[in-house]
Amino acid sequence: METRYCTNCGKPIQPTEFRSAAGYCGECAEKNPAASQAGQYSEKDWLVTLLFSIFLGALGIHRFYVGKIGTGILWLFTAGCFGIGALVDIIMIATENFTDENGRLIVQDSRKNPNYAYSYAGNAASAATKAPREDILDQIEKLAKLRDSGVISQEEFEQKKAVLMDKIQ
């Protein structure tokens, strides 16, 4: 996996490190929690939630899955509030308007990360050969902006650029 950079301070973020939906590193997310949470989507899987609601909606399993324990118990004892609540939940999940316990929307992966890796349109073979190069060029462009703003030195820029260029060739 490739190293990403914090959109706030430019610090490299390893794939295993925390990264907020806004692209902030852990330190920047702690300093500015409101900005790092803005537009953040739930980590819960949209398809799993939808399938739970379709097949087990009357039992409220989808509500337990997203952390809404109280209404999950209500759904369990009232057969999804007599089927009406379960039907409403299916529609809400399908239209991506259903939230988890923290109020974050549960949406499809393509909406969480509109990166090329999640796009299904076009020829898969051409996307696999073309997209990584474009991603690396985008990262080099971001590095240049960080260098120009003084966040990283010219030496750091050249080192990181060389690593990225090796990935292209």
Q: What is the pLDDT of residues 38-95, one digit of tens each?
A: 457 888 889 999 999 999 999 999 999 999 999 999 999 999 889 999 999 999 999 9
Neighbours of 80 (CB within 10 A): 23
Query: Which own/partner contact pairs does 129-135 have at CB distance under 8 Å and 24+ positions apart?
Result: 132/167, 132/168, 133/168, 135/2
- Locate the domains of the chain by residue range: 1-41, 46-106, 120-169
Chain-wide mean pLDDT for the chain? 78
CB atoms within 10 A of CB 90: 17
- What is the pTM for the complete model shown? 0.48
CA distances from 153 to 6, 12, 39, 75 (A): 16, 14, 32, 58
Query: To 10 degrees, what angle do helices 84-94 and 46-56 make?
Result: 160
d(C-alpha 102, C-alpha 109), whole Å? 18
Given a contact cutoff of 8 angstroms between Cβ atoms, the answer to whether 62 and 93 are in contact is: yes
pLDDT tens digits, 13-28 = 776 665 665 666 777 7
Tell me the C-alpha distance between 53 and 47, whole Å: 10
131: three-class secondary structure by DSSP:
helix
Instruction: Record the tokens describing residue 29, joined without a space.
Output: 């997310």
